[in-house]
Amino acid sequence: MTRNILAPLTLGLVLLFLIGPFIIIVAASFSAGETLAFPPQGFSFKWIAKVFTVESFRQSFGTSLFLAIGGTLAALILGIPAAYAMSRYRLPGAETVRFMVSLPIVVPGIVVGLALLRYFVIPAGVPILLALFLAHTALILPYAVRVVSASLANLRSDMEEAAVILGASRIGAFVRVVLPNIRGGILAAFILGFVTSFNQVPVSLFLSGPGVRTLPIDMLGYMEIVFDPSIAALSSLLAFLSIGIVLLAERFLGFSRYV
C-alpha cells in the first residue's frame, strides 16, 4: 500500500525539482512589476518586449549565434572524418585520440577557460573572437565525435565495399553511401553542439573581453547592474528556443536515439 503512494510521490518531487525553477522563471518573465520577484506582480509582456530593445543583448546574441553555428560546423568538419577513421581503420593510437577528444567533457570549463586565457590568448595575442571560436570548437568536438561515432557503429562497412566494387572511389563511397546514412547522427550532433555552445558559461567567462561577449556572459553582467524581470524574460525565450529545436529534432529525427 505504502509503495503505491511512495512511487508517484517521489516522481512528483523529482519533477518539481527539475521543472520548478523553470516555471518560476517563466512566471517571472510575465511580471508587470519592476524587480525580479516571485510570485510575479501582475501580468504584462513589457519585459519580453524590452529584451529585444537592449543593444548589448542584440550584439551578444549575434556573437553567441555565430559561435554556436560556426563552432559546431567546425567541430563537425573535424569530427566526422575523425570518427570515420576511428571506426573504420584500426589506427595506432586511436584510443589515445578518443581519450584526448573526450577530455573537454571531463575537465572543468573554468580550468579550460583560464588555461586558454593565460597560455594562449595573452602570450600569443590571439584576438578574442578567434579565441572564443577555437574554444567552442574544441568544446563541441567531443560531442560531434561521439554522436557521429554512434551512428557509424550501426553502419556496416560492407556497404562501402559494395560501392567500391561497383566503381566508386573511397571518397565517392563515403559521400554517396556513408554520409546519407549518418545524416540523422550529423544533425543530432549539430543540435547538441549548438545547444552546448549556446549555453556555455565558464570558458566564455574567461575569454570575454571588451566588446566581445556571449549572451550568457552578457546576461551575467547585466544582472549585476540591473535587477529587472527582463533577465527572466530572456531566459524563458532561450529555454523555449532550445525546447523547440529539440522537439523538432525529436519529431523528425528521433533525436533521443543519438544522445
Nearest approach in angstroms of CB 181 to another protein is: 6
Binding residue for another protein (CB under 8 A) from 49, 91, 165, 243? 165
Q: CB of 103 within 8 A of CB of 138? A: no
Residue 42 grid cell: 501582475
94 binds another protein (CB under 8 A): no
Q: Quick one: which of 167, 210, 211, 224 contacts another protein (CB under 8 A)?
A: 167
Out of 166, 226, 241, 247, point to the residue binding another protein (CB under 8 A): 166
Rounded distance, CA 215 to CA 66, Å? 11
The crossing angle, in degrees rounded to 10, of helices 215-225 and 230-253 is 160
C-alpha to C-alpha distances, 174 to 11, 80, 148, nearest whole angstrom = 46, 11, 14
User: Does residue 95 belong to the site contacting another protein (CB under 8 A)?
Assistant: no
**Distance of closest approach, residue 169 Cβ to another protein, in angstroms:** 6
When the beta carbons of 162 and 226 are compared against another protein, the nearer one is 162
Residue 200, phi-psi category: left (phi > 0), alpha (psi -120 to 50), beta (remainder):
beta
Kindly state whether residue 159 participates in binding another protein, applying the rule CB under 8 A. yes
Binding site for another protein (CB under 8 A): 156, 158-159, 161-169, 172, 176-177, 180-181
